[in-house]
Amino acid sequence: MTENNKAVVFRAGNEEYATPIPFVISIEKMEGITPIPHLPSYVRGIVKVRGELIPVVDFEEILYSRTLPDSDSARMIVLQTEELSFAVLVTEAKEILDIPADCLKQPGLIAYQKTNYFTGVANFDHRLITIIDPSKLVGSLEGIREIKEYMKTQHTTA
């Protein structure tokens, strides 16, 4: 993240996370998800956003190995990376926040391969917000190549 970092802050479980604004395409209500059999457990299905079919990943499943319950506050944060556009299912989208560079700390877990998508922690007086890099998140998910191939076949047949 750079100076005067704007990020979308969201909740998964009881924790707050953020992703840099340049990755965010939109924030949508949790609706219109079509389940697809035999995809990894963290993939809820696919959804059509702005005419494009994209996979929906359950962030609660990725982090805590439990399915995000349906609720009125649940949101899909649609993200664009070089590899893939995808939607992240979160408990709640909270706010867009400026994160000053002096509030950013490097977490000790960066070296841990399974969570290399945690790129920093915004340390405010009364809250900690873990920063997530969507490109690294996509790269860390098992089975993502198969999902990308599946999405390519959907684009050509849709």
Q: Spell out the SS3 assignment of the chain.
A: CCCCEEEEEEEECCEEEEEEHHHEEEEEECCCCECCCCCCCCEEEEEEECCEEEEEEEHHHHHHCCCCCCCCCCEEEEEECCCCEEEEEECEEEEEEEECHHHEECCHHHHCHHHCCEEEEEEECCEEEEEECHHHHHHHCCCHHHHHHHHHHHHHHC
Using one digit for the tens of pLDDT, what is the confidence trace for 92-134? 999 999 998 888 887 665 556 667 888 888 988 889 999 999 9
| Amino acid making up residue 67 | T
Confidence grade of residue 3 (pLDDT, cut at 50, 70, 90): very low
Sign of CA dihedral 119, 20, 74, 154: negative
Tokens found for residue 32: 């219109």
Beta bridge partners of 72: none
| pTM confidence score | 0.87
Give the domains, in start order, of the chain with CATH numbers: 6-150 (2.40.50.180)
**pLDDT value of residue 154:** 67
